[in-house]
Amino acid sequence: MHYTGTIWRPPYEADSLLLEVTVGCTHHKCKFCTLYSDLPFKFRMSPIEDIESNLLEAQVLHTNPYSKMLTRLQGKENPELIQRVFLTGANPFVLKTEKLLEIASFIHKYFPSVNSIGCFARITDSVNKTDEDLIRLRHADYNGLTIGVETGDDAALAFMRKGKADKEL
């Protein structure tokens, strides 16, 4: 699996398959944040070939004999189906709708059991998406974003350098 730098995820994503589709943050300027400071670059989108090879590897790891043996030792018949995928990086939702849909189609190809896809998002990442885009993404199982809403106070947002919407990638 490709994992770059420190991988951050919410505690409730402990059972989710973590899939690297982006690394870092498109904004990377908030005054209080050190989350991706271990990276030698600000933001990177993973090549689609890497995303697909990660899914293939996760599929093999999930169903290989060793995994099945561990499952049996835990008293279960088969490995539990993967239902949720969490895309890593600070804000994969900044990607263009077509790119996110392509990622979802690869996820469903390798894990047909997945019915929920989520990621971290900046509140501004949805600004460039139309209602139609959001409906299409919802139908592709994007149904659980984690958004840091620190404050609605404009002065505090400016002081903390929360910034404006970033361009879609």
- Taking the complex as a whole, the smallest distance from the CB of residue 105 to ligand SF4 amounts, in Å, to 27
Alpha carbon distance 20, 35 (integer Å): 16
Of 139 and 161, nearer to ligand SF4 (C-beta) is 161
- Taking the complex as a whole, the smallest distance from the CB of residue 156 to ligand SF4 amounts, in Å, to 13
Chain centroid offset of residue 166 CA: 17
CB 88 within 8 A of CB 19: yes
- Taking the complex as a whole, the smallest distance from the CB of residue 30 to ligand SF4 amounts, in Å, to 3
Query: Which position has the token pair 């989520």?
Result: 118
Of 29 and 76, nearer to ligand SF4 (C-beta) is 29
Q: Which residues bind ligand SF4 (CB under 6 A)?
A: 25, 27-30, 33, 35, 90, 122, 148
Of 25 and 82, nearer to ligand SF4 (C-beta) is 25
The DSSP H or E segment spanning 119 is strand 116-121
- Taking the complex as a whole, the smallest distance from the CB of residue 27 to ligand SF4 amounts, in Å, to 4
Of 43 and 142, nearer to ligand SF4 (C-beta) is 43
Residue 37: Cβ-neighbour burial (10 angstroms; 0-12, 13-18, 19+): exposed
Instruction: For residue 143, give the 3-state DSSP assignment.
Output: strand
CB 19 within 8 A of CB 86: yes
